[in-house]
């Protein structure tokens, strides 16, 4: 299995590189970039016409999603966020009405409180914001290495939008046969629709 091992090793090195790039962003610059990315995302026709938004709750190293989530909630869209199962490395999305519906879960991330949130089973007319340390020009992503989104995206048929800092978009990333490309790569500078 030399090819698989080689891809894993390549990804490890790239994760280190893009983590470092993100950690070097000043808080002011990150806040500015996050706001610009949110504005671009909210201007997408795919977002405007969707009924349901699948959004991650961002941690410090990720592109911030708070502005997007708050806007979607205020517009009356169904907003669902992931809850991870560390046992089988899968995730389900649960509908939230506000940030009050969240609690600390796996890996210290904010996740939906299942005692007050309903699991989402209908993904029709849904747009999914896909996190990634980096994306390439074909829409493939470099994730954080746990595989949760890779597994989920295998069965998701809606619109997939990768949000990322421009500095973390590269010409080509290593990817395997199970990796799913996003439909749109969006940065603080541009929106790239991926040709199928």
Name all domains of the chain by residue range, CATH numbers in brackets: 2-193 (3.40.50.10420)
184 Cβ neighbours under 8 A, 6+ residues apart:
44, 46, 139, 159, 160, 161, 162, 191, 192, 193, 194
What sign results for the dihedral spanned by CA atoms 127, 128, 134, 136?
A: negative
What's the predicted TM-score (pTM) here? 0.92
Q: Given this model, what pLDDT does residue 76 score?
A: 97
* Whole-angstrom distance, CA of residue 22 vs CA of residue 196: 29
Is residue 83 over pLDDT 60?
yes
Q: What is the pLDDT of residue 5?
A: 58
Q: Residue ranges of the alpha helices (H) in the chain?
A: 2-23, 27-43, 45-49, 66-74, 148-153
Query: What is the spatial distance between Cα 4 and Cα 79, in angstroms, rounded to a whole number?
Result: 36
Summarised one tens digit per residue, pLDDT across range 165-188 is 999 999 999 987 778 999 999 999
Please write the tens of the pLDDT for every residue from 36-60.
999 999 999 999 999 999 999 999 9
Question: Would the pLDDT of 3 be above 60?
Answer: no
CA distance 161 to 181: 9
pLDDT at res. 179: 85
> What is the mean predicted confidence (pLDDT) over 108-136?
94
Q: Are 35 and 63 in contact (CB under 8 A)?
A: no
Query: Cα angle vertex 142, ends 44, 12, to 5°?
Result: 165
pLDDT at 6 over 80: no
How much is the pLDDT for 86?
A: 80
């Amino acid at each position: 299995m030399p090819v698989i091992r080689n891809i894993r090793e390549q990804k490890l090195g790239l994760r280190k590189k893009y983590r470092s790039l993100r950690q070097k962003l000043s808080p002011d610059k990150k806040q500015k970039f996050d706001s610009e990315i949110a504005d671009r995302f909210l201007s997408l026709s795919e977002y405007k016409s969707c009924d349901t938004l699948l959004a991650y709750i961002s941690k410090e190293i990720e592109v911030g999603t708070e502005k997007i989530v708050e806007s979607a909630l205020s517009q009356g869209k169904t907003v669902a966020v992931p809850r991870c199962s560390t046992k089988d490395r899968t995730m389900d999305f649960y509908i939230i009405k506000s940030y009050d519906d969240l609690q600390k879960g796996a890996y210290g991330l904010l996740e939906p409180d299942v005692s007050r949130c309903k699991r989402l089973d209908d993904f029709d007319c849904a747009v999914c914001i896909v996190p990634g340390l980096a994306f390439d020009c074909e829409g493939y992503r470099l994730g954080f290495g746990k595989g949760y989104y890779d597994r989920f995206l295998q069965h998701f048929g809606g619109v997939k939008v990768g949000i990322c800092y421009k500095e973390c978009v590269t010409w080509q990333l290593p990817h395997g046969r199970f990796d799913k490309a996003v439909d749109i790569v969006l940065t603080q500078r541009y929106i790239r629709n991926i040709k199928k």
